Amino acid sequence: MNIVDLIIKKRDGGKLTKEEIEFFIKGVTDSSIPDYQVSAMLMAIYFQDLDNEETSELTMAMAHSGGTFDLSSVEGIKVDKHSTGGVADTTTLILAPLVASCGVPVIKMSGRGLGFSGGTLDKLESIPGFKIDVTEEQALEYAKTSGIVLMSQTDNLTPADKKLYALRDVTGTVDNLALISGSIMSKKIAAGADAIVLDVKCGSGAFMKDYPSAVKLAKTMAEIGKSVGRNVTAVISSMDQPLGMNIGNSLEVIEAIEVLKGNVKGDLLDVALTLGAYMLIGAKKVNSVEEGISMLTENINNGKGLAKFRELLIQQHGNPDIIEDYSLLPLSKAKLEVRADSDGYIYSMNTAEIGRSSLETGAGRASKTDSIDFGSGIIMKVRIGDTVSKGDVIAEIYSATEEKCISAGKYLKDAIEIKAEKPEQPKLILDIIS
Ligand code: URA
């Protein structure tokens, strides 16, 4: 087989066979296909797309490009969760301890943030001392004792995805439905959970900007899961405004703790409860979403969710005192208040641009090698539909320098539209696909 022939076949709209896809992924994994030919293939796929069969074959070839994580020694139905990526999307830090506190083991491998979307690993690393590098043996041990592990993906898991994602990132080929499905599902399949809940984000701050493409992505991933005997539920949720009010690493940790303390209500809590309820259904702990939400809510009210979060911090060497004392978390020195230019309603938000603003503060990375300023970010003061008067503070920006605050403030201001007309309230949960 020759890679040039395969690139030409895909470029001209042909369908790749299972063997051809396996040849491509093997060549990516062992570097026998050079980056320029891998990139050419990615661009051919971007323009010509993969059908469902090709997407499944790609996913399975990627899932088996390295080792797989065997969770069979951990008792119970293991559930995993994945978000396609958004802004102020801190649900993992809330629902992993909450679901684990209901007696369902959560062993979650997470990634770092790239571009406008934040990554769970970066948030965890903003906690002084927290160790995200956990070996598979350690993870199994933790899962058996505490029922919760939040860790970085181990090196031998889906090496093909690591290479492909890095190349997609620099060749403008990230936002392709087949490539996103393959990337996410290969990692979830290799990570070994029995049930998977996907949070497919839809809106201005998501890869999928409109409802039909979000549904298509959700259905593709659910089909892939079904074909390998994994129970997959996809929740399609809105990303037309930041999910929580805090954007940035330590700021999002604080908001997650506040939710676990029962002090914060709203969209972040609602999405976390919905995803958590489907995780409990996947684990056969409850029979309905209502039952799941009520079990999770009870564990917020009785403090069991927060206690599990504390257990996670102690287990992975994070300072548990941050729960009572947020000043132990980093917070950048320079601060800027962004104010409304006019009276009216908060009419719309360009969420990707708000993510761009947070990137400007230093809270994210534009390219994989960028370092992060854990204490920087944005505290939003408004949501769509709120009324404001000229001069009201609509956001606080934190960054290392005043210049960075000013630059981030410009992006933020441009991203928020204030109008005299009352907007329609965006729907939070758009659909459930299973
Ligand atoms: N998240 C992933 O893990 N992969 C993608 O391709 C997009 C989002």
Could you list the pLDDT tens digit for every one of the 434 residues in the chain? Answer: 999 999 999 999 999 999 999 999 999 999 999 999 999 999 999 999 999 999 999 999 999 999 999 999 999 999 999 999 899 999 999 999 999 999 999 999 988 877 767 789 999 999 999 999 999 999 999 999 999 999 998 889 999 999 998 899 889 998 899 999 999 999 999 999 999 999 999 999 998 999 999 999 999 999 999 988 899 999 999 999 999 999 999 999 999 999 999 999 999 999 999 999 999 999 999 999 999 999 999 999 999 999 999 999 999 999 999 999 999 999 999 999 999 999 999 999 999 999 999 999 999 887 777 889 999 999 999 999 999 999 999 999 999 999 999 999 999 999 999 999 999 998 999 999 98
pLDDT of 58 reads: 97
| Residue to mutate (ligand 1; options 82, 183, 217; most atoms within 8 A of CB) | 183
pLDDT of 175 reads: 86
Q: Is 317 a catalytic residue?
A: no
pLDDT of 111 reads: 80
> How does strand 429-433 pair with strand 231-238?
antiparallel
CA dist 64 → 4, 37, 190, 258, 433 (Å) = 24, 21, 7, 39, 26
**Tokens coding 107:** 């062993």
pLDDT of 296 reads: 98
pTM comes to: 0.94
pLDDT of 274 reads: 98
The one catalytic residue among 64, 78, 81, 82: 82
Largest CA distance in the chain: 66
Q: Is 187 a catalytic residue?
A: yes
> How does strand 393-399 pair with strand 334-339?
antiparallel
pLDDT of 121 reads: 93
What are phi and psi for residue 339, nearest 5 degrees? -115, 155
> How many CB atoms neighbour CB 1 within 10 A?
12
Distance 308 CA to ligand 1 centre (A): 28
The CA distance from 361 to 168, in Å, is: 25
Kindly list the protein residues whose Cβ atom lies closer than 6 A to any atom of ligand 1.
84-85, 111, 179-180, 183-184
pLDDT of 366 reads: 79
Q: Is 73 a catalytic residue?
A: no
